[in-house]
Structure 1
């Protein structure tokens, strides 16, 4: 990607087919506190993109009582929401964090979208993507499933068509997916894929978490349609295959407060940097800084742009031999 002109206002579109409603019970000074937030991978990515100073469009479907609440809560955020109404409700979960740990209390799954609802969502997202510098593809969300499971909420071919149609018209597409949605997106082609070592293990892409196995997975994913591949590994250094070269990426050592949302922060940081015209190597450094900062905080995919910017020089990126 080329450097943007000073007059250009960068824009990212995030596809989040079925956002979640999250309810968290916290211990407060005067008693219990109950917090309601929009949630799910795509929402968390969009939130951090906006906080990093880049215009973001969130394309999603909303239905039922949960969908109504999610849309209302999103209005408080600096996000341009392109909403598609659905007959079926969105998913929701409730967590108890009064002990300091997350304890699931209740979960409600999302309902599948109809053919007409999917068509409308595709049209809204495609047009928004054409008017963006970069698109992030997030998966359908419903509580109680691991990333390797496939919630039958939207047809998988949506990901193939979206990736192919946008890239052939000049919009860069990155994905934070795994399992069948990822397979579908790779068929359409991706400029970059972010995935975790846990997701690779869950879906059978790797036999173990050793570096040779992970590097082999990077090569396979690149051969299947990803121009660049980034694999996060929790507290271990991130591995990346960028422009035919292998890298190990290290952030400062920190004592994590909450690991959840770190991967979404990495994706958001990469998306922002690429949308602004940075090299893919620099974008991965920005993403690693965002992910590192996230684990030092409570709150998924959170952190300020200024803090992330100051953290980037502390990210070490070393070319390695696979």
Structure 2
């Protein structure tokens, strides 16, 4: 039994290159290379496992890359049950330089209707024992934009609380199904609900069905907009490193908060999420947090 189920419908084999500087149209000497299972939900699962939360990662995976994804998670001690697809799972390439990241995302394998039906069966099986479900990341080709709405409805019908971290039409349709928390970044928020002050735009997602909206704002931290009030938290200082997994670390903190009895203590939860996401920036690859740094940063909030 896992307390949290994380869903990565477009799982990836992540390749991270560390270079001194990224220069267009130039040859680069790579200082370090990292290969590991990735995708937003996988990163959330890694962080939760590091924090001692009982978690299982699920989603869709196939081909040689899919085999590497499941093998890497097994080696890392992260429980996983992925539904197979015939196509080869995607790869993502992240180039880290000068404290920032440039990312290249492949689209992922085409998913057939039969493969999607098989995944839904597995998903509902896992949800029967889960208290929290995290749905995050892009949809692979062949999966309809309403997929997250369908999964939110299924998880909530089984008594699980749901965090949704998506983009575009998938986010808009998913919000209407009533997830407990929606966690867009600033750009995703604008694409889902239009332009304007962040609090005003987030309120539109509340009106559309979200229980709460937590907006990732990079170095400016997190903003929570709820029916009971608004709160924000930001890191005490800017940290150099790889920001790729910061949002996923924040999602892990929010998922852990959903395990606690209601109501959520938003100031404390946001401070914890900011510290955890900052600790993720200090790690070279997404899905990893420096626990010593996390404890130290928590004292600064």
Same fold, TM-score > 0.5, yes or no: yes
The residue that corresponds to 2:179 in the other structure is 190
Change (3 A) 1:268 1:98: closer
**Aligned 8 A contact 1:192 1:226 in 2:** yes
Q: Is this contact kept in 2: 1:274–1:283, CA < 8 A?
A: no
Q: Which position in structure 2 is the counterpart of 1:295?
A: 281
The worse-fitting range, judged by mean Cα deviation, of 236-245 and 170-179 is: 236-245
Match of 2:111, SS state, is coil
Task: Compute the displacement of 1:100 (Å).
Answer: 7.7
| Structure 1 position 196, deviation (Å) | 0.9
Superimposed CA distance per residue, residues 105-136 of structure 1 (whole angstroms, 9 cap, x where no aligned partner): x7643112111111111111122122111000
Question: What's the RMSD between the two structures over aligned residues?
Answer: 2.6
Q: What is the alpha-carbon distance in structure 1 between the residues aligned to residue 46 and residue 6 of structure 2? A: 10
1:11 and 2:3 aligned? yes
Structure 1 segments unaligned to the other structure (5+ residues): 1-8, 142-150, 316-322
Contact 2:4 2:132 in 1 (8 A): yes
Distance 1:129 1:304, change over 3 A: farther
1:140 positional shift: 3.1
Q: For residue 166 of structure 1, give the secondary structure of its aligned residue in structure 2.
A: helix
Which runs of no fewer than 5 residues in structure 2 stay unpaired? 20-29
Matching of residue 255 in structure 1 with residue 239 in structure 2: yes
Question: What residue in structure 1 maps to residue 122 of structure 2?
Answer: 124
How far apart are residue 205 of structure 1 and its match?
2.8
Contact 2:9 2:59 in 1 (8 A): yes
User: 1:269/1:194 Cα in 2 relative to 1: closer, same or farther (>3 Å)?
Assistant: same
Is residue 39–residue 137 contact of structure 2 (8 Å, CA) maintained in 1?
A: no
Question: Which digits, 9 at most, give the CA deviation of each residue in 1:263-303, with x for residues without a partner?
Answer: 11110111123224475213333212211222233221321
More helix by share: 2
- The answer to whether structure 1 residue 173 and structure 2 residue 162 are counterparts is yes
1:216 is aligned to 2:192: no
Is residue 154 of structure 1 aligned with residue 140 of structure 2?
Answer: no
Query: Structure 2 CA distance, aligned partners of 1:224 and 1:100?
Result: 37
Name the CA shift for 1:24/1:219 in 2 (closer, same or farther; >3 Å). Answer: closer
Render the CA deviation track for 1:25-50: whole Å, top value 9, x for unaligned: 457xxx96543211111111111011
1:207 aligns with 2:195: yes
How far did residue 244 of structure 1 move?
2.1
Q: Is the 8 A contact 1:198 1:233 kept in 2?
A: no
1:24 aligns with 2:24: no
Residues paired across the two proteins, number = 290
Task: Return the alpha-carbon distance in structure 2 between the equivalents of residues 63 and 237 of structure 1.
Answer: 36
Deviation at 1:64, TM superposition (A): 1.6
**In the TM superposition, what is the alpha-carbon distance from 1:54 to its structure 2 partner?**
0.2
Normalized per residue, the structure richer in strand is 1
The answer for the alignment partner of 2:271 in structure 1 is 285
**Which of the numbers 236, 245, 249 marks the counterpart of 2:229?**
245
